[in-house]
Amino acid sequence: MDNWQNPLQKIDDYRWRLPKSYMAGMRVPGIIYAEERLLEAVMRDKALKQVANAAFLPGIVRYSLAMPDIHWGYGLPIGGVVATDIEEGGVITPGGVGFDINCGVRLLKTDLMEKDVKSRIRELVNTLYNDVPAGVGSEGKIRVSPEEEKKILTKGAAWAVGKGYGTKEDLENTEEKGCMEGADPSIVSDRAYQRGKRQSGTLGSGNHFIEVQVIDEIYDTGTARVFNLEKGQITVMIHSGSRGFGYQICDEYSRDMGRALTKYGIAVPDRQLACAPVKSPEGQAYIASMKCAANYAWNNRQCLMHLVREVFEKVFKKSFKDLGMDLIYDVAHNIAKFERYDIDGKNRLLCVHRKGATRAFGPGHPDLPERYKEIGQPVIIPGDMGRNSFLLVGTQKAEETFYSTCHGAGRLLSRTAAISACRGRSIAKELEEKGILVLASGKGVLAEEAPEAYKNVTDVVHVVHGAGISKRVTRMRPLCVIKG
């Protein structure tokens, strides 16, 4: 234990410090949120080194942070959080946002109970599979012209609502109300447009999913009542992002920003953290493009939710409003935001990178919808398809993490390792024996996404709850899952 635990210094049961002495050139220490039993997985890959690498970024304040779902990624580890001070030369790095810009999750409630869906669950999973496009290169049923595509990039989810694919209440319950201002479609490459063409309302591949769940545990009755949630109730979770459109933008700027390192005299130990000052032309161009991808993703999830509502209407012969299919919230977890914090007694505008991390504003935050002002921001944490998912809320204490928390379970095995571990097995059959029906569009997807490929999300959520940076409200168990 002591050998692999080194060089981390234990702060308390849920936090560990990576000192600046770990690597010469670190501007700040690292802080890892984890219990001891989760640390071994952290030490097995390069994630800890990536926490240290991020501490080299110009303008970084406080710490280079890692959530308990941390694992190795491109540039910043997945589960990484970094904030830079814009007025002090703070940078923005595409590697600190990720390839699937604004990959995120939304959670819908329904008025259905488990007994209402039990006899129709197979019909429900088959209809979802048939009616919601999923998988690599999937094309959506919602077709738009090139001119309309550009409107999506500036309007985000409001474009879909304007076309009848949702309600204004959906926008109120979406982070940033489903749109970041300042997106500039004119600087997006033709290649990015091509890759994003006809992908609105499509699920994508890999770990993206639609999951029908039942609430099997209530931790905070009062907060659950604000959400109109109770034990035995059916919820739906949707996980998707900006598809090939966002991937292309990250790919282009990660490559092009390499030149900015020399131009601005920036030294980082890993070129995957290529960056530029937020105020530079290069930084501003990436930000305007990132916002295009973020808005694309919010529109995509809004369209996906519309298709899911249509499926429920078809199966249960009621309108989605009569079924009580209201959006609880939509959160982003691959994005950079501009937020104000008190740093050393001064109110500073920071560029907060959340890479595989979820925003978790506490009660009273001015950016929250009125209905959530008293309880804090809803935080949606999916698990793997064979275990549980969670709904939490943000806390005031989360200010120490720039109001950030975990985003999921976090991988334990690479996709290649997972496929090898599952060779000769039927993951779908194993899950069905546990009462979970699963359909996937891609060959090998179920093996790549097998439950054992992930940490137990219960352990991950236990850390963020115990550390006080978000608070558990409900636990949901999967009934059926569509995987891309």
pLDDT in tens, 426-441: 999 999 999 999 999 7
pLDDT at 80 (0 to 100)? 98
Identity of the amino acid at 44: R
Model pLDDT for residues 125-154, shown as the tens digit of each residue: 999 999 998 765 556 666 777 788 899 999
Point out the catalytic residue in the list 333, 407, 462, 465: 407
Question: Which of residues 216 and 201 earns the better pLDDT score?
Answer: 216
**In whole numbers, what is the pLDDT of the chain averaged over residues?**
93
Q: Three-state SS across the chain?
A: CHHHHCCCEEEECCEEEECHHHCCCCCCCEEEECCHHHHHHHHHCCHHHHHHHHCCCCCECCCEEEEEEEECCCCCCEEEEEEEEHHHCCEECHHHCCCCCCCEEEEEEEEEEHHHHHHHHHHHHHHHHHHCCCCCCCCCCCCCCHHHHHHHHHHCHHHHHHCCCCCHHHHHCEHHHHCCCCCCHHHCCHHHHHHHCCCCCCCCCCCCEEEEEEEEEECCHHHHHHCCCCCCEEEEEEEECCHHHHHHHHHHHHHHCHHHHHHCCCCCCCHHHCCEECCCHHHHHHHHHHHHHHHHHHHHHHHHHHHHHHHHHHHHCCCCCCCCCCEEEEEECEEEEEEEEEECCEEEEEEEEEECCEECCCCCCCCCCHHHCCCCCEEEECCCCCCCEEEEEECHHHHHHCCEECCCCCECCCHHHHHHHCCCCCHHHHHHHCCCEEEECCCCHHHHCCHHHECCHHHHHHHHHHHCCEEEEEEEEEEEEEEC
Band of pLDDT at residue 25, cut at 50, 70 and 90: very high
For the question of residue 71 being annotated catalytic, the response is no
Residue 201 pLDDT > 80, yes or no?
A: no
Q: Quick one: which of 260, 278, 253 has its CA closest to 101?
A: 253
pLDDT at residue number 308: 97
pLDDT of 147 reads: 82
Q: Which domain holds residue 472?
A: 2-483
Tens of pLDDT, residue by residue over 234-245, are 999 999 999 889
Confidence of residue 376 (pLDDT cuts 50, 70, 90): very high
Whether the predicted pLDDT of 197 surpasses 80 = no
Average pLDDT over residues 191-215: 83
Work out the burial of residue 167: count CB atoms within 10 Å of its CB; fewer than 13 is exposed, 13-18 middle, 19 or more buried: middle
- Please write the tens of the pLDDT for every residue from 404-460: 999 999 988 888 888 888 888 899 999 999 999 999 977 788 998 899 989 999 999
Q: Which amino acid is at 432?
A: E
Q: How many CB atoms lie within 10 A of CB 367?
A: 13
At 280-320, the pLDDT tens digits run 999 999 999 999 999 999 999 999 999 999 999 999 999 99
Query: In the predicted model, what is the mean pLDDT of residues 350-376?
Result: 97
Predicted local confidence at residue 412, as pLDDT? 86
For the chain, what is the domain count?
Answer: 1
* Residue 183's pLDDT band (cuts 50, 70, 90): very high
pLDDT at res. 4: 45
Express each pLDDT in 63-110 by its tens digit.
999 999 999 999 999 999 999 999 999 999 999 999 999 999 999 999
> Is it the case that residue 223 has pLDDT exceeding 90?
yes
The answer to whether the Cα torsion of 207, 212, 215, 216 is positive or negative is: negative
Give per-residue pLDDT as tens, 313-357. Answer: 999 999 999 999 999 999 999 999 999 999 999 999 999 999 999
Query: CATH number, domain at 320?
Result: 3.90.1860.10
Percentage above 90 pLDDT, the chain: 82
49 burial (CB, 10 Å; 0-12 / 13-18 / 19+) is middle
Q: Give the mean model confidence (pLDDT) for residues 356-365.
A: 98
